[in-house]
Structure 1
Amino acid sequence: MREVISISASHRTNHLLTQFYNGQEQLLQDVDAENEPGVFLNPVVDRISKTVSYTPRALLWDAKCGTGALGTRQYENTHDYYFDPDHNPSEAKQAGVEIVQTHKKIPKSEYQVALDSNGHLPVLSDSNTRYWSDYSKLVFGPSNLNTLNDWYHDVDNPSAPDFQDLHQTYFSSYDVGYQEFKTNYCADFFDDKLHSQLESCDGLQGLNLLSEMDNGWGGFSSCLLENLRDELPKTDVISWGFNKDDALSLNQPIRSTKTKFELICNKIRSTLSIVRDSNLYFPLYSDPSLSLWRSAGCTDLLFDAVNSASSNRDAKKRTSFNHIVGLLTQGETHRNVVSKLDIEELDFSFYSRIPRQKTSGTKTYGQLFISRDPQSTIEETSTIKTYAWQPSDTIPEEYRNKTTYTASLAVTEKPRDVFKNWLNLVSRYFKYDADREELKEELGTLVNTYEEGWYDDDDSGDDL
């Protein structure tokens, strides 16, 4: 078996993993499915009842209350944990146990109630899917879930948890996120949660790391990945980073507001760290016009396509993470930013939103097509064929009908535009930052890595 473990750090990325694992649950219902379920799901055999249950090979991080109505041990039969569906402390089932309610009750979604009672499933919409647990089909238990101790989920601003629910300090800084993981979670996460997942694998082939680049989660996942590299130095890691629009993508003055400047500073530090320690980095766009549920349903077309290639039951059709990395990087391991991320009319790349600085064509260093059309007759080395998508009913209807499609991925010159702009920004505005020279050196190297031919920009990166 060549298992894949997915690590998600943020409420947004938990929505994407939920949609992905709902799709894995959907495949379990198909006796003729072409995938090997054990790649992404851990089968647990009950020898008495002669049944098999599946748990996700996943580790999810969220703020307190970010899991919605889902209790960490909700689906465990234990006397050490009190769970009452009505959350009525007066009906405690253990004598001498005092129950303290520390936060307002979050009601279970209508969809989850229907799942638990085997009832009629309601239609999902933006309004009834604000938490990823509202529509999760597989059970995420204590071995999968990790929670920030001091930061509370904000439904209206899910990317920036609130410290102690005091509405004064938010999880919005790279440094805060980095120190949070390093100081409070590093040892326990690797010694307990990650090792538990690793022990269930026969032969780990790779990991997905999903996070956001503009806030504290970027620093949090950077520190996590940095330590993960010490733990698993030779394991392939594909990182997926969500990026919000910033002053560059919106063509606005860099210092138009303090918030926008801090956002792009976070993005620079997070991206450099993630790119440095990943085998591939996919810069995804966070579309503000879409809810987290709808955005995850759309992005799952890309995420599922890339991952499906590594789980084909037929060994002749199976493709490893390592092979995908090789096709895109062409052996140049330091050139690992996949800037082209297309599926037909859908463009998932944040980097395509950055203004071009070159008037001529764009160089393509490595490309890959992932075809999910069983009828496709393409026989090129840069094309991987995999099984058709079987989306869960939790995917928004407008994306659910795309069961056969081709994902187009490429490593191009485009990151040069991004890194050059960042180099100019660091040179001009990071006057007293301790890591200024380090950032300039690393960005300069990346600019040269993705540069081909003549550009229209000048040497505006010099100190002013």
Structure 2
Amino acid sequence: MSEVINVSSGPSSNHVLTHLYNVQESHIPYKRTDQIEYKNQTFMTAFKKKNGSVDYSPRALLFDFRDGLGSLNKYEYHEKKPTISNFDPIHIIYTGRKVEKNEYQLGLDQGTKVTGELLSSTNTKYWADYNKLIYQPYSLCTLENWELPSDSSNSSDSSNFGSHKHFHNKKYSLYNQGVEEFEENPDEGLENFRKLLENVDSFQGVNLFTELDSAWGGFTHELIVQLRDEYFNSNSKKQIWCWSLSSATYKPKLNHLLSRIQTFIELAMSSSVFIPLNVDTNSLMLSNLDSISPWQVSSTYAIIINSLWDLNSKLKDSVDMATLEDGLLRGSNSKRNIVNEFQLKQIVRKPKPKANQFGIMDVDLSAYYQTGSITTVGSTTETVEAPSSIDFSYCSGPSRAEYFSSNYIVPTNDQDLGPIEENALTNIYHDDSIGQIGNIDTFPKSIYTVPLSDTYVKFGINNSLKEELKTYRKIIKGLRRDTEVIEDKAELIETISDFIDEYTTGYEDESDEEYYN
């Protein structure tokens, strides 16, 4: 087997991971006659029972706020529940916010048939509300110093940062707070990661999911650094992928903007591949999206990430993380590792030419993908709906951007994808199951205007990222002194400048004043 460990930090990330693992649950063969198409132990750990059957649990480590598990008690499926007679009433203490299970989770517990129709934006505030797999207790970790806001919806939004348990006005919002939180208690996360690693035969890599605009980014960076030192001997060649989530509607003030810049650069430096994602919720492919529903918003991220998971775990023609990483980064050094373009795009079928009394009419397809229309020779024009997409890119830039690598995951028998960038490094991976996530009952499929089976994924690295990096450098240069977030202004400017050089093509005349003042 070639296994992957997944580490998720923060509510937003945990919602995404829940969608991904609900897909994995659908691959489990519950009947002997079920056809096996996936290597289930890529993302899940198998536990053989005495009767010969096999149980699966996520090979994952999740960090959340206290009360972030909602109605889930991490021990409830592994220990017998004590009766009230076992308690000394004098020593009963409040252990957390009381959250009742929704109808969907109650049905799962009782073994009755339930459907996703029981789920809505109002009863999926917690990721545990629609989770289908049972986690090992060591997979679930909580920060005892920080609480999930009682009105939390999407923790990428500034109003939903976690609050300190004693000082509710103190928010879990800045990079340095996350670093400090991890340093206070590093042993739990590292020890629980070790338990996951012990059940791995052939290690493929680590996926880490975090938030760009909160303290979870600093927490994740410090975790990556410690994992490298403890388990990978600081091996920079090991596949350590970090996915960060951010909100396009969030407009950070200065201190939080500095935190975003620090988080972005540090995660890029510590990961072998860094993938910052920022969903365009105004896409025509989305209909009636509740932008403050973590269940709905996280489903969009899960679609594109699942397309790579599917490649990783297919029984036939699987593609491991090392191969995907080589396709992304080949020809560059380790600093050009930020995947700044990620899109889910609609496949539009090309209509067949119509015949008339003179035979088959000629068709001009040159402007099809740009204008959404096809012009036939003569006087007939047939208008076809233009393809739509959901953009997750972090600074994808204009169409004229120069690509260092472009990558596609497409249905095996459908190549009508429009123009593909002409560059020295284009990789096309084939997969017929891109849209399978839409068949999961917990997935909010009603918000999508396009069948997910009619989509493909495009991701890559291009030089448009340098403009955003230049903006970051200008902001840091404008600081009069180091701050609580930026402890070494000069070092950060130098690091950003190194990244800008990596994403620059050709010669650009930049004055010494811009670089060093």
Query: What range describes the TM-score normalised by the shorter chain of this pair?
Result: 0.7 to 0.9
Larger radius of gyration: 2
Whether the aligned pair in 2 keeps the contact of 1:246 and 1:264 (CA below 8 Å) is no
* Shift in Å, 1:451: 1.0
Deviates more, 1:342-351 or 1:259-268: 259-268
Distance 1:272 1:369 in 2: 26
Tell me the alpha carbon deviations over residues 136-158 of structure 1, each in whole angstroms, 9 at most, x when there is no partner: 00012312101001111114343
Alignment of structure 1 residues 235-384 onto 2, 5 Å: 235-245=238-248, 260-285=253-278, 289-314=291-316, 317-332=317-332, 333-344=334-345, 345-352=389-396, 361-371=400-410, 373-376=411-414, 382-384=427-429
Q: What is residue 455 of structure 2 aligned with on the other side?
A: 405
Deviation at 1:244, TM superposition (A): 2.7
1:134 partner amino acid:
D
Would you say the 8 A contact 1:427–1:440 is kept in 2?
yes
Q: Per-residue CA shift, 1:107-154, capped at 9, x if unaligned?
A: 112210111123333432211110000000001231210100111111
Aligned sequence identity (%):
27
Pair 1:110-2:109 in alignment? no
- The gaps in structure 1 that reach 5 residues or longer are 85-90, 251-258
Matched, 1:439 2:478: no
Q: Which amino acid aligns with 2:433?
A: A
Q: How does 1:196-235 map to 2 (within 5 A)?
A: 196-230=195-229, 231-232=231-232, 233=235, 234-235=237-238
- Distance in 2, matches of 1:276 and 1:180, equals 20
| Aligned 8 A contact 1:312 1:387 in 2 | no
1:146 aligns to 2:194 (yes or no)? no
What is the rounded CA distance, in whole Å, between the counterparts of 1:132 and 1:335 in structure 2?
34
Residues 428, 463 of structure 1: 8 Å contact kept: no
Cross-structure match for 1:451: 504
The residue matched to 1:179 in structure 2 has which SS?
Answer: helix
Q: Is the 8 A contact 1:64 1:153 kept in 2?
A: yes
> Residues 197 and 452 from structure 1, CA distance in 2 versus in 1: closer, same or farther, beyond 3 angstroms?
same
Query: CA 1:401–1:188 in 2, change beyond 3 Å: closer, same or farther?
Result: same
Could you tell me which runs of 5 or more consecutive residues in structure 2 were left unpaired when the two chains were aligned. 282-290, 346-388, 417-424
- Which letter does structure 2 place at the counterpart of 1:76? H
CA contact (8 A) 2:25 2:133 kept: yes
Distance between the aligned counterparts of 2:264 and 2:205, measured in 1?
20
Q: Hey, what's the Cα distance between the residues in 1 that align with 2:255 and 2:400?
A: 33
Q: Does 1:181 align with 2:160?
A: no
Tell me how far apart the structure 1 counterparts of residues 511 and 103 of structure 2 sit (CA, whole Å): 57
Q: Kindly indicate whether the alpha-carbon contact (under 8 Å) linking 1:154 and 1:161 is maintained by their aligned counterparts in 2.
A: yes
Q: 1:422 to 1:307 in 2, by over 3 A?
A: same
Residues 414-423 or 430-439, more deviating: 430-439
Q: Is the 8 A contact 1:173 1:216 kept in 2?
A: yes
SS at match of 1:370: strand
1:364/1:411 contact within 8 Å kept: yes
Q: Which of the numbers 131, 135, 143 marks the counterpart of 2:130?
A: 135
Q: What's the C-alpha RMSD, in Å, of the aligned pairs?
A: 2.7
**Structure 1 residue identity aligned to 2:413:** Q
CA distance in 2, matches of 1:54, 1:271: 34
- Name the aligned partner's letter for residue 129 of structure 1: T
Matching residue of 2:169: 168
Question: For residues 92 and 424 of structure 1, do their structure 2 counterparts lie closer, same or farther at Cα, with a shift above 3 Å needed?
Answer: farther
Deviation at 1:100, TM superposition (A): 1.4
Distance 1:430 1:246 in 2: 28
Q: Distance in 1 between matches of 2:480 and 2:320?
A: 41
TM-score norm. by structure 2 comes to: 0.78
Shift of 1:350: 2.9
What's the counterpart of residue 35 of structure 1?
Answer: 38
Equivalence map 1:418-429=2 (5 Å)? 418-429=468-479
- SS of aligned partner of 2:338: coil
Q: Is the 8 A contact 1:427 1:461 kept in 2?
A: no
- Contact in 2 for aligned 1:130/1:155 (Cα 8 Å): no
2:380 is matched with none
Partner SS state of residue 91, structure 2? coil
Give the conservation status (yes or no) of the 8 Å contact 1:423–1:461.
no
Q: Aligned letter for 1:388?
A: S
Superposed CA deviations along residues 133-191 of structure 1, whole A, max 9, x for unmatched, are: 0000001231210100111111434351111154221111111110110122x22321x
Sort the Cα spacing of 1:3 and 1:94 in 2 relative to 1 into closer, same or farther, 3 A.
same
Are the counterparts in 1 of residues 408 and 459 from structure 2 also a CA contact under 8 Å?
A: yes
Q: From the superposition, tell whether residues 95 and 170 of structure 1 become closer, same or farther in structure 2 (CA, over 3 Å).
A: closer
Distance in 1 of aligned mates of 2:399 and 2:143: 48
**Separation of aligned partners in 2, 1:410 and 1:162:** 37
1:193 is matched with 192
Distance (whole Å) between structure 2 residues aligned to residue 320 and residue 103 of structure 1? 41
Amino acid at match of 1:175: N
Distance 1:422 1:246, change over 3 A: farther
Please report how far the alpha carbon of residue 456 of structure 1 lies from its aligned counterpart in structure 2 after TM superposition.
11
1:458 to 1:245, Cα distance in 2 relative to 1, 3 A: farther
Aligned equivalents of 1:241, 1:360: Cα separation in 2: 24
Q: Deviations over 1:74-113 (max 9, x none)?
A: 11124xx64x7xxxxxx34456883212333111122101
Whole-angstrom distance in 1 between the partners of 2:415 and 2:216: 42
Decide which of 419, 442, 455 is 1:394's aligned counterpart: 442
